[in-house]
Chains A and B, each alone.
Chain A
Amino acid sequence: MIEKPGTFLFKAMGGPCRLTLITDKSGQATQVCREIEQEVRRLESKYSRFRSDSLLSRMNRGELNGVPLDKETQGILNYIRQVYESSEGLFDPTVGVLREAWDFSSQQIPDREQIDILKHRLGWQKVKWDGTAVQMPENMALDLGGVVKEFAADRAKAILQKNGISGLINLAGDIVVSGSPENSQNWSVAVRHPRRSGAFATIQVGQGAVAGSGDYERYVECQGRRYCHILRPDTGFPATDGLVSVTVLANNCLLAGTISTVAMLKGADGVNWLNEMGMPYLAIDQQLKPYGSIEVIE
C-alpha cells in the first residue's frame, strides 16, 4: 500500500512495516518494495512460532533433530550461540516457554513455584547445536523473535543496496538506513518516550541501523513495580532494577537489537555492557535520566 510518494506500508512480524525510499522512478520503488515485503514475509513464515508449518515449529517438534539445516538458519543459530556466550547466558532463545506463566495482558505476576517448574525447560546449552543440526530436547522450544525481525531489517537493507536505492526501513521499531535522505546527510529517528506517548528524543542516523528495547512494550505492573516482557532465563523474571529503555546504533540491525536486549536483561549492569560493546547508545534509567554516546536533539 502506498501512503505517500516513496512511502510504503505493510503489516508483518506482528507490527507495521514502513519503507521510505528515495528514488525518482516510482516503478522501481514499487518493485523494490515488493521484493522487500516478500523477503520479510518469507522470513516470517520460516521462523514464525505461530505457524505450525514453519521451519521453527518443525524444529521445535523435534522433526528436524539431527538433520542438517539450511545455511541461513545455521548462520542465525551460530549468531545466537555467540550472543548467548557473550551475554553469559542471559540472551537465551529458549525463554519463550516462560510465556506459559507470564500473562502480560493481566496485572499479575506469576508465582515463583510455577516459574521454577518452567525453568527446567530452559537452557540453550541443552539444545545440542553443533553448527549444522539441532537436537531439541522434549518440552523445550526455540523462539527466534529476538533476532528474526532485526535480521529481516538487515535483509531489507541488503535489497536496497543491491538496487542502489537510498531509504529508511522501519520494521516495527527496528530501523535500517541506506544512503542519505533528500537534502540532508542524516536520517532523523525518534526515540519513544518510555513513560508517555511521543518522542523522548530525536537522533540523527547517517548509516547502519537503530534498534531499541524498553519496558514499555508489554509489561505487568504489580505493587508499583513494572515487569516487562524481556525475561531473564536465570530468574524467569525481567530485571526490574535496570534501564527502562535502550537504543543502540550499529552497522546492522541484528547487532543493535541484541546489544539493546542484553542491556535490558543485565539490569543495573546494563550501562557497563553497553560501554563494553562500544556502539553509540542512548539508555534511559528508572529516573528517566539519559545516558550514552548518541547525540540527541530533545
Chain B
Amino acid sequence: MSDKFRKLAKAAIAIPGMVATAQAAAPADAEASYRYTKYSEDDSPQSRDDSGGAQERYNINVHQFHLLYPLAEHWSVGVETSLETMAGASPVYSYIPDSEEDVYTHFAGASEETRFDVSANARRYSSKSEAGTALYFSKERDYTAINAATDGSFQINDQMTTFSGGVSYGHDWLNPTVVDSNGNVTNGNDLSDAELAELVTTNPASFGAIDGSKWQISAFEGIGQIINMNTVVQASVAVTYKDGYLSDPYRNCVGSVEAIAEDVPCDIRPSSRLAGTLSLGGRRFLPNLNSAVHLDYRLYVDTWDVLSNTLDLDYFQNYAPGWTFFTRHNIDFQFIPGLRYYQQTAAYFYEVPDLNDASGWVYTADTTEYYSSDPRLSHYGALALKFRTKADIKNFSVVSAFERYMTNPKLGFNFDDEIPGLLSSWRLTTGLDYRF
C-alpha cells in the first residue's frame, strides 16, 4: 500500500460521520508512545526512625513504551513494555518501643531493584461490539507475575447504551531475597539447606515466602449510558478474589532495636481476600466553554474489613489558539487540573505493637493469628492534586502530568491514631505520542 494511498485513506476516515457512530471502528492510526515517570516519596521523619536518622524513601524511574497497530479493518494489536528502577528504604514495621509513647518505624536499608514488564493485546472491532484479550508478564529479582485478561463490550438502544464486561486471571511467584552479614543479596531459592535452616530464625518472613505464590481472579461488569449530546453516565461492579501468600515477606522483626518477636514473621495476613468495588462516573461536556468535567466515585470493600471511598474530579479544558501559526500547524492544547480524595478504614488485623503492653515477645509462631503494621492497611486518608497537559501538534502529542499525593490519618477522619510509615509523594510524567 503506497504512502500516498495511506494518507488519502486517513484523510477520508478523519471526516466526521464517515464511519457509523455505532461502528467501533478499529483505530485508523498506528500509535507509538513513550512515557517517562519520576516518582519520589518524601523522606521519613528523622525523629521517628528507630535508627535515629532520616531515611531516604523510594525513588522510582519508569520508562514505558507503547505501540498500537491497526490490522485490516477490524483489528488492532498492541504491545507495551516498561522498565522500572527503584531505589530507597522501605518501612519494615512500626511499633511503640518499651518505655516510649511514640510510634517508631524500622526501615530496611536502601535497596535497588529493577522491574521489567511486557504485555501484548489484540482487539476486534465490529459495528456494535468489540472484544479484546491481553497477556502480561512481569519480572523482578524476587517476583514473577503473569496475567491473562479478556474483555468485551456491546451497544444497544441505538448505541446509547453500552454494556461491558471482562475477566482476568493472574498468578504471582515469590522468591524473596535475603541479605547476609556481608551485605550480599541472594534469592531464597538459591540457598543451601544449611542457609535455609538459619533463615528460619534470622529472617522468618522471607523464609516463609520461599516458593510462595498467589493467584487472583477478577471479573467486572459495566454499563454506560448516553443521556444526551453532552452527558454520559457509567457504572460498574467488579469482584476480585486472591488466594495464596498474601503477607509481605520483607516485614521482618529481627534487626529492630527491641526485638518484638522471634522466629516468626511480623506480617501474617489471611491467605485469601475477596474484594468488591462499585464505580460510578459522569462526564459532562460544556460546549460553551469547550471543556468537560469528569466526576468518578469508587467504593471498595473486602473481607479484610477494608472499606475505601475514592472521589476524582477532573476538568478538561480544550484550547485551540486562533493565531495563524497554531492553526497552520494544527496545534491545540488540553489542560486538565484534577483532585482526588481517598479514605479507607483499617484491616481488622492492623495493629501497631506496643512493647509497653507486652513483656517478652509480642508475636507468636501461630500463623492463624493475623497481624500487620503495614500503613497501607491502616485507617487513613489521602488527597492528590493533579495537573496534566496535552499539546497536539500534527501527528504528535506531547503530554505531561504532575501529581502531589499527601496522606494523613486525619484526612481519613482518624483523629486518634498516629500512622507512621504512611507516605506522601510526588510524581512527574512526561512523554510523546506519535500517530502514523
Contacts and interface: CB of A to CB of B under 8 A. Distances in A.
10 contacts: A86-B5, A86-B8, A130-B327, A151-B15, A157-B20, A158-B20, A161-B127, A164-B128, A251-B73, A279-B5
Contacts of A277: 2, 4-5, 8
Contacts of B2: 276-278
B20 A75 contact: no
B21 A158 contact: yes
Nearest to A279: B5
A247 interface: no
A79 B20 contact: no
Contacts, number: 91
A252 B4 contact: no
Interface string B1-37: 1101101111111111111111100000000000000
Interface in A192-209: none
Contact of B12 (A155, A158, A162, A255): A255
User: Per DSSP, are chain B's interface residues mostly helix, strand or loop, or mixed?
Assistant: loop
A71 interface: yes
B322 interface: yes
Contacts of B159: 162
Contacts of B73: 251
A278 B4 CA distance: 10
A170 interface: no
Nearest to A133: B327
B5 A278 contact: yes
B327 A131 contact: yes
Contacts of A278: 1-2, 5
Contacts of B23: 158, 161-162
A132 interface: yes
Contacts of A137: none
Contacts of B21: 158, 162
A159 interface: yes
A82 interface: yes
A-B pairs, top 3 by smallest CB distance, nearest first, are A75-B15, A161-B20, A82-B11
B394 to A, nearest CB: 10
A159 B127 CA distance: 12
Given A86-B8, A161-B127, A277-B2, A132 B327 contact: yes
Interface in B285-332: 320, 322, 324, 327-328, 330
A255 B20 contact: no
A75 B1 contact: no
A159 B19 CA distance: 9
Interface in A150-200: 151, 154-155, 157-162, 164
A130 B20 contact: no
Contacts of A100: none
A254 interface: yes
- Counting chain A CB atoms within 10 Å of each CB, which of B17, B127, B330 scores highest? B17
A72 B330 contact: no
A101 to B, nearest CB: 30
Interface string A79-102: 101110110000000000000000
Contacts of A164: 127-128
Nearest to B21: A162
Nearest to B158: A162
A251 B328 contact: no
A258 B20 contact: no
Contacts of A294: none
A76 B330 contact: no
Contacts of A158: 17-21, 23
B327 A255 contact: no
A79 B15 contact: yes
B9 A251 contact: yes
